[in-house]
Amino acid sequence: SRVLTIQNEYISASFDPDTGLLVEMKNLEQDLLLPVRQAFYWYNASTGNTLSSQASGAYIFRPSRQTPLFISRWAQTRLVKTALVQEVHQNFSAWCSQVVRLYPGQRHLELEWTVGPIPVGDDWGKEVISRFDTALETKGLFYTDSNGREILERRRDYRPTWKLNQTEPVAGNYYPVNTRIYITDGNMQLTVLTDRSQGGSSLSDGSIELMVHRRLLRDDDRGVGEPLLETSESGLWVRGRHLVLLDKARTAAVGHRLQAEKELLAPQLVLARGSGTPYHLE
């Protein structure tokens, strides 16, 4: 039951020996240590209540409760360690797993998650999130990008141009995350790069959450006319990656901007059997 750790020359990540969850991240280059717990949760989709008949659906995110439920409080883990890769494989449930990965020379932690098919046999629509919890004092602020360009400051329960009456404490604080979301206490910054557009928020100080998958049983009555209930094989499973960077706040932008470029314009692989013939343009 010793602590499980993966480490390269820049980053170290530790996992709780009892739960198998990520519990600590270190930036060895800058001597930064951040206790961070990451786990998967799900919101129970609202089907309407006494305040509003609005159901969660394709257009609308409306959880029935503010607190999400654990998919699992622990993960069965398997460790792969070679000279070229270190991976912790976490299995949370039959429909949720993750590989936490480090390559040599990499300045970020890679979390490759696989979610689905989301079970709905209990007649509850589910909206699945990955959440990172830290003790960073973020004073209600977090940052998301706008179409991969300008980073915008987001403040919980607040809009800069009008007096907000917050009626949806969870959904009302969700924002689009096209490429990245981060939190900072002014000294340290935790950034998560996404490989696709997702919804994200920081519902309490020091926390980041990103919605990775959803399966709903009711239409939200906004025009689609059918619930977000994928039944074909291709849409049941979702696999994606979150790249997590821990940096000093004043130098963090260099790291996440360069890494985001590398993700957007990732190398492409083409294979051949290698018995080709010489090719001339003419």
Partner 1 sequence: SGDSAPLNEAMAVLQHHDAVSGTSKQHVANDYARQLAAGWEPCEVLLSNALARLSGSKEEFTFCRNLNTSQCPLSQTSKSFQVTVYNPLGRKVNWMVRLPVSKHMFLVKDPSGAVVPSDVVTMPSSDIQELLFSASVPALGFSIYSVTQVPGRSPRADRPEPRFQKSLSWIKSSSRVRPS
Burial of 269 (0-12, 13-18, 19+ CB in 10 A): exposed
4 lines the binding site for partner 1 (CB under 8 A): yes
Report in angstroms how near the CB of residue 75 gets to partner 1 at its nearest: 7
By CB under 8 A, name the one of 26, 131, 214, 256 that touches partner 1. 214
Q: How far apart are CA 109 and CA 243, in angstroms?
A: 6
Q: Are the C-beta atoms of 20 and 114 separated by less than 8 Å? A: no
20 lines the binding site for partner 1 (CB under 8 A): yes
**Nearer to partner 1 among residue 51 and residue 269 (C-beta):** 269
Q: How far apart are CA 73 and CA 40, in angstroms?
A: 9
Q: Is the dihedral of CA 272, 273, 278, 282 positive or negative?
A: negative
Query: In the stretch 256-275, what mask flags binding to partner 1 with x, by CB under 8 A?
Result: -----xx--xxxxxxxxxxx
70 lines the binding site for partner 1 (CB under 8 A): no
* Residues numbered 150-189 forming contacts with partner 1, rule: CB under 8 A: none
Token pair in block for residue 106: 């990499």
**Nearer to partner 1 among residue 190 and residue 228 (C-beta):** 228
Report in angstroms how near the CB of residue 271 gets to partner 1 at its nearest: 4
Structural element, H or E, at residue 255 = helix 252-264
| Amino acid residing at 181 | I
Q: Which residues bind partner 1 (CB under 8 A)?
A: 1, 4, 17-20, 58-59, 73-80, 82-85, 89, 91, 103-105, 196-197, 214, 224-226, 228, 230-232, 234-235, 239, 261-262, 265-281
